[in-house]
Structure 1
Amino acid sequence: MSVPVSAPVAERSWQRFSPGLRLARFAFYLCTVAAFAVSLRTIEIIPEFLYDAPEQMADLFGRMWPPDANYLGPTLAALVETLHIATLGTLLALAMAVPVGLLAARNLTPSLPLNLLAKFVFVTSRSVNSLVWALLFVAVFGPGPLAGTLAIAFRSIGFTGKLFAEALEESSPGSIEALTAAGAGRLSTLVFGYWPQVKPAFWSIALFRWDINIRESAVLGLVGAGGIGVALDTALNLLYWDQVAVVLAAIFSVVVLAEIVVTLVRNRVL
């Protein structure tokens, strides 16, 4: 009796990407390299400026040392104003972003026109840089911390409102349905159903945005919107590099301190 011989099994070669996907990846890399090359040609880098850059940096830091200790008083006063601008601007942003966030949350506001209107407000707020907002408010209200505060507030609406709306949409519907079945109104459902779920995320968003606003408010004075940026702009215009060193050290210190405070509050309280 003859034994059947099994047919040879064809070897299969494993490939991570299909031919079409490999072609798409190659096209992406090619476009990236081409965009990089075009960008280099567009910004017109002058090689002569790169050659003596280390020497220029060393000369600049040499002019900054030693820092002018007599400029510490005006710098601290401007720094306190910067903290006030960032804090008040964040509070105003939260007050304006919460109603818009409620309109953007589809589970709370099942109306497409209102959702789109709220998202348009978010996009508008985030699209305009804080310096541009500051320029607009300086033109309206004149130079000073009021323009800086409003610039920080209007810049922060899109960030805080969008994240708040997303937190509302991700809330669990169980407690909401229980409150609705018990006859609770919209306000009671919002306060006792949604708010306990989104409260940790809301305060985390607020702290994170306050931390960002301290950094952004430090440069608003360059366009006349108050804060420590005014002291920095004055020192730069007068070429007082020892005073510039004091201002930069103060900005760096307050940014580090704000980071520590935000981290401690989130770990201890939230």
Structure 2
Amino acid sequence: MSDSTSVPTSPTIAAPRATLPADHVWQRHTLTQKLLRFTVWLLIALAVVQSMRYIEIIPEFLYDAPDQMSDMLGRMWPIDWAYYASDVQAGLIETLHIATLGTLLSIVLAIPFGLMVASNLTKNRALNVFARIVLVASRSVNSLVWALLFLAIFGPGPVAGTLAIAFRSIGFVGKMVGETIEQMPRGPIEALQASGAGKFSEIWYGYWPQLRPAFMSIILLRWDINVRESAVLGIVGAGGVGMVLDTALNLFQWPRVATVLVSIFAIVIVTEVAVTQIRKRVL
């Protein structure tokens, strides 16, 4: 029987806690942070006051607004459903065509800029800056402004609306594609580069399999947005159901205006549900 040797253990020494003065008061923000927060809120308040001064709100119109709204809704009822089959249905179909063709055209135009704007794929700084300028310019101009520009070139009709939707969508699609590529893991790409793959093979076998799910989701989302934007392009003469709405408004045909508005609301809901179901079941 061997004697077991016990090793004495030293007692654990607790680290001394910092003691605060008895009169110390805890504060969530320092004095500098408080001054900065106060400055931000002050600037926001000044911006709101300055904006209200330039908007020139007329109080009499605000007081009268509920009565005017009630009178307009009364004129819209009952809804002229007979007007749907004669004009509104054709306008809605044209709106869907404008949104679909515009989205497809934007894909063709946006993919090159999405590849150029990704700094990990395109190493040329000048091409990165050029692509970013194009994408920013596309997003900066509203679809109605694009429609007015193309109306001056091609005249009234769905061609101007389709091109307006396409050029407006380039910035969105290209930016999302570029950001998705920049966030991809580098493992598969480096493996292709180490095996001596060319640039096309690198894009097709390395980037595209990772980009495909996000790309499909981006296209569906943009198509959903384009359906909504296409519905109002007709107000400036760029085709679609907006032209039907503009005609009814100009002729003060309020029951027909209600028909168009309800139809636009319904088609937006249908496209929203369709896009959601496709993303759940396919992607």
State the aligned residue count.
263
- State which of 21, 27, 35 in structure 2 corresponds to 1:10: 21
- Poorly superposed stretches of 4+, deviation over 6 Å: none
Whether 1:127 and 2:102 are equivalent positions in the alignment is: no
Whether 1:199 and 2:212 are equivalent positions in the alignment is: yes
User: SS state of the match for residue 68, structure 1?
Assistant: coil
Q: Which residue of 1 aligns with 2:31?
A: 19
Q: Which residue of 2 aligns with 1:43?
A: 55
Tell me the amino acid that sits aligned with residue 61 of structure 1.
Answer: L
Q: Tell me by how many angstroms 1:9 deviates.
A: 5.1
Aligned ranges 1:34-183 → 2 under 5 Å: 34-73=46-85, 74-183=87-196
Tell me the amino acid that sits aligned with residue 183 of structure 2.
Answer: E
Residues in 2 aligned to 1:18 and 1:91: alpha-carbon distance in whole angstroms:
54
User: SS state of the match for residue 33, structure 1?
Assistant: helix
Residues in 2 aligned to 1:190 and 1:133: alpha-carbon distance in whole angstroms:
32
Residues in 1 aligned to 2:33 and 2:152: alpha-carbon distance in whole angstroms:
52
Tell me the amino acid that sits aligned with residue 37 of structure 1.
Answer: V
Note the residue ranges of structure 2 that are not aligned, 5 or more in a row: 1-18
Whether 1:186 and 2:199 are equivalent positions in the alignment is: yes
CA distances 1:184-206 after superposition (whole Å, capped 9, x unpaired): 11111111110111111111111
Q: TM-score, normalised by structure 1?
A: 0.96
Q: Which residue of 2 aligns with 1:240?
A: 253
**Aligned Cα RMSD in Å?**
1.0
User: SS state of the match for residue 52, structure 1?
Assistant: helix
User: SS state of the match for residue 219, structure 1?
Assistant: helix
CA shift in 2, pair 1:192/1:9, >3 Å:
closer
Whether 1:260 and 2:276 are equivalent positions in the alignment is: no
CA distances 1:208-245 after superposition (whole Å, capped 9, x unpaired): 11010011010000001000000000000000000000
Whether 1:28 and 2:40 are equivalent positions in the alignment is: yes
Residues in 2 aligned to 1:231 and 1:164: alpha-carbon distance in whole angstroms:
36
User: SS state of the match for residue 184, structure 2?
Assistant: coil
User: SS state of the match for residue 99, structure 1?
Assistant: helix
Residues in 2 aligned to 1:249 and 1:267: alpha-carbon distance in whole angstroms:
27
User: SS state of the match for residue 93, structure 1?
Assistant: helix
- Percent identity, aligned pairs only, is 59
Residues in 1 aligned to 2:213 and 2:109: alpha-carbon distance in whole angstroms:
19
Tell me the amino acid that sits aligned with residue 119 of structure 2.
Answer: R
Q: Which residue of 2 aligns with 1:5?
A: none
Tell me the amino acid that sits aligned with residue 37 of structure 2.
Answer: R
- State which of 205, 219, 230 in structure 2 corresponds to 1:217: 230
Residues in 1 aligned to 2:245 and 2:29: alpha-carbon distance in whole angstroms:
53
- State which of 229, 242, 245 in structure 2 corresponds to 1:229: 242
Tell me the amino acid that sits aligned with residue 46 of structure 2.
Answer: A
CA shift in 2, pair 1:238/1:9, >3 Å:
closer
Q: TM-score, normalised by structure 2?
A: 0.91
